[in-house]
Amino acid sequence: MLGPVLETLIGGLMTGVLYALVALGFVLIFKASGVFNFAQGAMVLFAALSFARLSEFMPLVLAFALSVLIMIALAYAIEFLVLRRLVNQEGIILFMATLGIAYFLEGFGQSIWGSDIYKIGLGLPTNPIFILESVFPGGLLIDPVELIAASICAVMVLVLAVFFQVTRIGRALRAVADDHQAAQSVGIPLNRIWIIVWAASGLVALVAGMMWGAKLGVQFSLSLIALKALPVLILGGLTSIPGAIVGGLIIGAGEKLAEVLLAPILIRTFDLAGGGIENWFAYVLALIFLLVRPQGLFGERIIERV
Amino acid sequence: MATEAADTFPKLLIRNAGLYAGRPAYRHKDLGIWQAWTWAQVLEEVRAFSLGLQELGLERGDKTAIIGSNRPRLYWAMCAAQALGAVPVPIYSDSVAEEMAYILDHAEVTIAVVEDQEQVDKLLSIRDRLPRLSLIVYDEPRGLRDYDHTRLKWIADVQKLGRDRLAADATALQRWEGAVAAGSGPDLAIMLYTSGTTGRPKGVMLTFDNLIISAINGNRFDSLGPDEQVVAYLPLAWVGDHVFSYAQPFTAGFCVNCPESPETVGEDRREIGTTYGFAPPRIYENLITLTMVRMEDAGRLKRNLFHYFIAVARRWGEKILNREKVPLHARLLYWLGERLVYGPLKNRLGVSRIRLAYTAGEAIGPEIFRFWRALGVNLKQLYGQTEASVYITAQPDGEIYADTVGKPNIDVDIKIADNGEVLFKSPGVFAGYYKDPQKTAETKTSDGWVHTGDAGFIDAKTGHLKIIDRAKDVGRLNDGSLLAPKYIENKLKFYPNIREAVVYGDKRDFVCAMLNIDLTAVGNWAERNNIVYGSYQELAGHPRVYDMLAQHVEEVNRSLAEEKAMAGAQIRRFLILHKELDADDGEVTRTQKVRRGFVAERYAPLITALYSGAREADISTEVTFEDGRKGMLSARAKIRDVAAAPVPAMEKAA
Amino acid sequence: MRAPSGPDVVAGEVLLAVENVSLAFGGVKAVSGVSFDIRKGEIRAIIGPNGAGKTSLLNIINGFYHPQRGRITFKGKARSAMRPYEAALGGIARTFQNVALFKGMTAIDNIMAGRTLKMRRGFFWQLIRIGPALAEEVEQRRRVEEIIDFLKIQHVRKIQVGKLPYGLQKRVELGRALAMEPDLLLLDEPMAGMNLEEKEDMCRFILDVNAHYGTTIALIEHDMGVVMDLSDRVLVLDHGIKIADGKPAEVQADRAVIDAYLGLTH
């Protein structure tokens, strides 16, 4: 029994890293601008589409570099066309703006790159790896694609966390998130900070898109994985980078384990049709969490004296 | 210089600069960083300062005022003056200019060393009235740059004068050391003005012998050595600070840490890890209240953990601290508690490394006292006075009681006069009040005993001194039994249900009490017990409330009966007042001290009834409402009789 | 109270000149045709009833608002509009009417944020924190500590500013502005909502900043006593129009000013 459970756990954790990466995109932008960026999912799709189509007629490295440039250009465009005009507006207004960006990106991306399912061939080894064969009969099966994806994500998360926690940009970023006007008044260039975070979260979207794309193929449904990031955010807190990571791992592992352990019990006890638990478990978990600890695992508890 | 010759502070400084040369003597947190000076460096600083002051005209016998908060340079100013044979006179820095003017004039101060602009401004405002005051020296230059500097100098500039002199004149050092050597133990070391409750402040003169012998005895009593760390935060003009942050560090060689600002003392204490300290009861109380409030805001797990282990500590902590026998499981639990709760809490409170903490000044609540000891903090009580160079009695380690002030310190003798007043005799006994031989003679008898003004008795069980009241407030019943009203009132007030108590009995046949209930505590109790009440008055008159308070009074009687000296003054009758004693009505002072005489007049019919044997009495009093209107409040107060507890047979008089 | 500077300051070099500036939101005129100057080293008060356009004027000076008409000359360079970032770079710092602090950060981080523009080393150096980068960090921290000492806020250094009482928040905000070592300091109601003691402290800080660092200060204040004590010259606005400009005593005696204020109390 332990073997398969462990196998599920490892698989779940690796999916969790991917969730974390998507959630991280949200956190970056939320921290820097207080905007809940609904377009994060669309950015994942757009980035993956760009990479997939570019890689069809150029080397992977070049395709990646070009995609990075595209995402940076996108950040510039969003800042120049949308955010700059909405300085000091309410959070809800900015949220609506990202909603617009989301639908535009989905449509626009498909208009220029096409709307079929595209494959991303990263040339990764596909033969499953078995580990701990001496401990468990038959060992534990690990998908090398998932393993590599998880490693890349882990490195990415680490670099971003260090970048934003340790450097002066981190302080500027928190300042901008707290109060736009005050940040400007001490000479923090708001526009530049926004371009930086949107570019960073574009980069994160690109990596996430590549990894998911390699797993599932690049298709429209990719933009929906943003929805999976929501429970992660609720768990981890909207402002916490470690929260996004831990939240992603918990959700990833939790839903896989629920599928394997909880589902059979539910089916037996309540005589249910079974299946599909993976689809709603994360949300129920998030809902419970929301009731107990609304600020999330690592979110800042806002205490203010009036 | 030989140790036995170090009978003044400047001599001790020279000794320490050799003995503890590289060890820190002073630290001061400035611009967020702890700056440190070794004993050798302090000697250099003090010497430069002292020579500078000499250049500016300070002479043997002159008085130097020291005004400000606890900063190294102000302590050095004391030593710099003493080196020349001048006498430092620290003054409370929060005094208004008027109060300062009196002391500066009375002490004939010629040079004042002050902290900052605030103090300089105060002195400048009264300067016209102080012809002797020729120079003001300040430590903190901010805001003073544009002031007229003819009779105003920055400490650094004064020190520069001294250093220049040392550089220019080869014999300067030798002559300065000669000046230091000319001082000796019986010389006047310092004058501390005490603000008596009535009349003008008196200048208590203490000699080097007073302070140095007392400090050395104190060090021995508590085994204090050069490794202690103290945070100096109490007023410089208070004898406690002078002994704990000046005399003891100089004699024992330990380090004095000066906080960044009065508001950061807690944080600074935590960073330093004080090993030895003093605080009035209020501070111990506030720290606990703060902790409790913070815990209420904490998560549930943390809160439950806290309360569970605090209960463990209350049950076993003191026993462990007192090295009593404790079952193994309790030790294990306490060990776990130390890791999870007490350790982090003590760290937060800045007492992780504390070896010894004193409290004195007024009675500390037994609950508060035990709480600290339960956490493993060796909190002890002390009884002292300016006139004694602090030490009269203190609790030796392992002999700790919430309600005593301990045994006589080394070389201290105490005796109790017939009227209950405590008298003492010690090496610390002051030389006299400055320019007031009459007051000196009233306080100090010709054979050297000093009247403390406090009444007390030696507890038969422990051999410790217990302070019961101010001597002038202590009375006698008609049968001659000693009556200490405040002592009994404090015992009553330790019950949360009793907010205020007034006790009578002087020149009467027995003791009576008038009580105020605590509306919060009793109100809560009433709610839990389904007792309905419409007003304070109704609750105060409720029979079950009377029952409850009668129990408290009986318990107080039992505890009085256990003390031979107090057993005769048990409460026989009491009543609960229909209104709270109120400062607006003049019944208590603004600092919540009961004005016993005034209350007796105002409630005369009740007192008459208490002593006439009546079951109840009518009273109507004028009250002032919050908006300032006045009105009459009438009530009928019931009176309860209480049995006296039997006095246990005393085997032997102690 | 205000001895050292005096008339020579008022006659000094012009640091900032505002010429005929107008700003309207929709149809509402916030500022119309206002001209005035601020001279190097002076404390300049801007007063007027609520809605007189005082805050709008500050917002124009530090680039939050761009006036539709008029010209602003700062340190001899004329411009019609600039970004707040550029204003900060040019040496203009400010505080806000309702305290705009970074509430989630500690007092020290808030003040440190004021030194953003003073940091020289790139982020790579900060990342590794050795050599020159470390020295810079230490130097910045020292400057910040001096400000903390100056404003006597040592005890709240490491506390999240959102948890501080209002008076202390105002002080931290002033500290953040001071950390920029500005040539021109704009204070929007620095004493609003303070008790008497806090006001006295704040007055002293403002005077000390002016005296020690020679910082030019423009402040909006309602407490006339404070304005009279602190300022070298007073600009009076009403409904976006300048109605008086001069020394405190002159302004106080001005008919139009009295009318504007009496009109308010009716």
Select from C60, C123, C161, C166 the residue whose CB has the most chain A CBs within 10 Å, as the one to mutate to test that interface: C123
Nearest by Cα to A228 from A285, A283, A299, A284: A283
d(CA B173, CA B541): 78
Q: Considering CB atoms only, which of C149, C211, C212 is closest to B31?
A: C149
Contacts of A185 in chain C (CB under 8 A): 62, 84, 88, 93-94, 96, 100, 177
* Residues B86, B108 contacting (CB under 8 angstroms): no
d(CA B78, CA B361): 25
User: What is the model's pLDDT at position A83?
Assistant: 83
- H or E element, residue B54: helix B39-55
Which residues of A fall below an 8 Å CB-CB distance to C? 162-163, 166-169, 171-172, 174-175, 177-179, 181-190, 300, 302-305
What is the per-residue pLDDT across B443-499, written as a single tens digit (0 to 9) for each? 999 999 999 999 999 988 899 999 988 898 898 999 988 899 988 998 898 888 898
Angle B72-83/B9-19 helices, nearest 10 degrees?
A: 110
**B438: pLDDT strictly greater than 90:** yes
Q: Minimum mean pLDDT among A24-33, A97-106, B549-558: which range?
A: A24-33
For residue B423, the tally of other CB atoms under 10 A from its CB is: 18
Distance of CA A75 to the CA centre of its chain: 17
Determine, for residues B31 and C204 on separate chains, whether the beta-carbon distance falls below 8 Å.
Answer: no
What's the rounded Cα separation, in Å, for the pair A138 and B588? 85
Decide: residue B378, CB within 10 A, 0-12 exposed, 13-18 middle, 19+ buried: buried
CA distance A188 to C19: 28
CA of A172 to nearest chain C CA: how many angstroms apart? 7
Calpha distance C178→C164 (Å, rounded): 19
* Residue C144 distance to chain A (closest CA, Å): 14
Q: Is a pLDDT exceeding 90 seen at residue B379?
A: yes
Interface membership of B260 toward C (CB under 8 Å): yes
Average pLDDT of span B22-47: 95
Of C84, C126, C165, the CB nearest to A185: C84
B328, pLDDT greater than 80: yes
Which of B31, B261, B264 has its CB closest to that of C146? Answer: B31
Out of B25-34, B105-114, B180-189, C248-257, pick the least confident.
C248-257
Q: CA torsion angle for B389, B393, B398, B399 (degrees, to 10)?
A: -170
Percent of chain A with pLDDT over 70: 89
pLDDT value at position A278? 74
- Tell me what the mean pLDDT of segment A97-125 comes to: 84
For helices A168-178 and A2-33, give the axis angle rounded to 10 degrees.
70
B261 — contact with chain C (CB < 8 Å)? yes
Token pair belonging to B549: 């308070």
Chains touching A (at least 3 CB pairs under 8 A) are C
Is B297's Cβ below 8 Å from some Cβ in C?
no
Per-residue confidence band for C5, with pLDDT thresholds at 50, 70 and 90: very low
For the ranges A38-47, A125-134, B200-209, B465-474, the maximum mean pLDDT occurs at B200-209
Chain C residues in contact with chain B using a Cβ-Cβ cutoff of 8 Å: 4, 141-142, 145-146, 148-150, 152, 154-155, 157, 204, 208, 211-212
Contact residues on chain C for B33, CB-CB shorter than 8 A: 145
pLDDT digits (tens, 9 = 90+) for C162-185: 889 888 999 999 999 999 999 999
Helix (H) or strand (E) segment spanning residue C264:
helix C255-265
How far A306 CA sits from the closest chain C CA (Å)? Answer: 8
CA distance B225 to chain C (A): 31
- Choose among C64, C88, C126: nearest Cβ to A187: C88
pTM equals: 0.77
Chain B nearest C-alpha distance from C207 (Å): 10
Name the neighbours of C, counting chains with at least 3 Cβ pairs within 8 A.
A, B
Q: Please tell me the distance from the alpha carbon of residue C202 to that of residue C205, in angstroms, as a whole number.
A: 5
Nearest to A187 among C102, C117, C123 (CB): C117
Q: How many CA atoms are closer than 13 Å to the CA of C153, on its beta-carbon side? A: 33
Closest alpha carbon to B607 in B573, B582, B644, B567: B573
Say which amino acid occupies C97. Q
- Report chain C residues whose CB lies below 8 A from the CB of A186: 88, 93, 113-114, 116-117, 176-177, 179-180
ipTM score of complex: 0.82
Give strand ranges (E) for B601-629: 616-624
What number of other Cβ atoms are within 10 A of residue B101's Cβ?
20
For residue A41, the distance in angstroms to the closest alpha carbon of chain C comes to: 28
Out of C123, C127, C176, whose CB is closest to A186? Answer: C176
Tokens 């006069």 correspond to B417
For residue C139, CA distances in Å to A168, B268, C129 come to 15, 23, 13
More confident residue, A114 or B408: B408
Q: In angstroms, what separates the C-alpha of C106 from chain B's closest C-alpha?
A: 15
Helical packing angle, B155-168 and B39-55, nearest 10°: 90
Interface test with chain C among A168, A193, A301, A302, by most C beta carbons within 10 Å: A168
State the pLDDT confidence band at B654, using cuts at 50, 70 and 90: very low
Average pLDDT of the residues of chain C: 85
User: In B57-154, which ranges are continuous DSSP H helix?
Assistant: 72-83, 97-106, 117-126
The distance of Cα B441 from the centroid of its chain, to the nearest Å, equals: 26
Q: By the 8 A CB rule, do C38 and C45 touch? A: no
CB contact under 8 A, C149 and B146: no
Q: Chain A closest CA to C109's CA: distance in Å?
A: 8
HSE-CB at A53 with a 13 A cutoff on CA atoms is 17
How far is A207 from chain C, CA to nearest CA, in Å?
23
Could you say which of C142, C145, C152 has the minimum Cβ distance to residue B261?
A: C152
Among the listed residues C73, C75, C81, C97, the one whose alpha carbon sits nearest the alpha carbon of residue C190: C97
Phi (first) and psi of residue C240, to 5 degrees: 80, 5
Above 70 in pLDDT, residue A272?
Answer: no
DSSP state of C63: T
Residue of C nearest to A188 (CA): C85
Provide the pLDDT confidence category of residue B651 given band limits of 50, 70 and 90. very low
Tokens representing residue A284 in the block? 């129920």
pLDDT of residue A127: 73
- C122 at A interface, C-beta within 8 A: no
- Averaged pLDDT score across all residues of chain A: 81
Query: How far is residue B30's CA from residue C178's CA, in Å, rounded to a whole number?
Result: 19
Among partner residues A181, A187, A190, which is closest to C96 by beta-carbon distance? A181
Q: How far is C155 from chain B (nearest CA, A)?
A: 5
Q: Does the beta carbon of C9 lie under 8 angstroms from any beta carbon of chain A?
A: no
- For an interface test with C, give the residue of A30, A171, A186, A190 to mutate (most C CBs within 10 A): A186
Interface test with B, best of C1, C154, C158 (most B CBs within 10 A): C154
User: Any residues with CB less than 8 A from the CB of A157 and at least 6 apart, and which?
Assistant: A17, A20, A21, A24, A241, A244, A245
Rounded distance between C-alpha atoms, residue B27 and residue B72, angstroms: 7
Is the predicted pLDDT of residue B1 greater than 70, yes or no?
A: no
A170: part of which helix (H) or strand (E)? helix A168-178
Contacts C119 to A, Cβ<8 Å: 168
Minimum CA–CA partner of C208 in chain B: B143
Per-residue tokens: A230: 């929501």
Question: Using CB atoms, which residue from C145, C155, C211 is nearest to B264?
Answer: C155
Among candidates B31, B145, B263 on the partner chain, residue whose Cβ is nearest the Cβ of C145: B31
Mutate to test the interface with C, among B115, B118, B140, B260 (most CBs of C within 10 A): B260
Q: What is the mean pLDDT of residues B579-590?
A: 82
CA distance A296 to A299: 5
B30, B142, B261: residue with CB nearest C155: B261
Facing A187 at nearest CB: one of C112, C116, C126: C116
Tens of pLDDT, residue by residue over A141-177, are 777 777 887 788 788 878 877 777 667 777 787 788 7
**CA B200 from centre of chain:** 21
Residue B32 to residue C154, Cβ atoms within 8 A: yes
Percent of chain B with pLDDT over 90: 66
Residues of chain C neighbouring B146 (CB-CB closer than 8 A) = 4, 211
In this complex, do B33 and C150 lie within 8 Å of one another by their Cβ atoms?
no
Radius of gyration of chain C (CA): 19
- Given a cut of 60, is residue A302 above it in pLDDT? no
pLDDT (0 to 100) of residue B372: 93
How far is residue A71 from each of residues A216, A232, B202, measured CA to CA in Å?
22, 24, 81
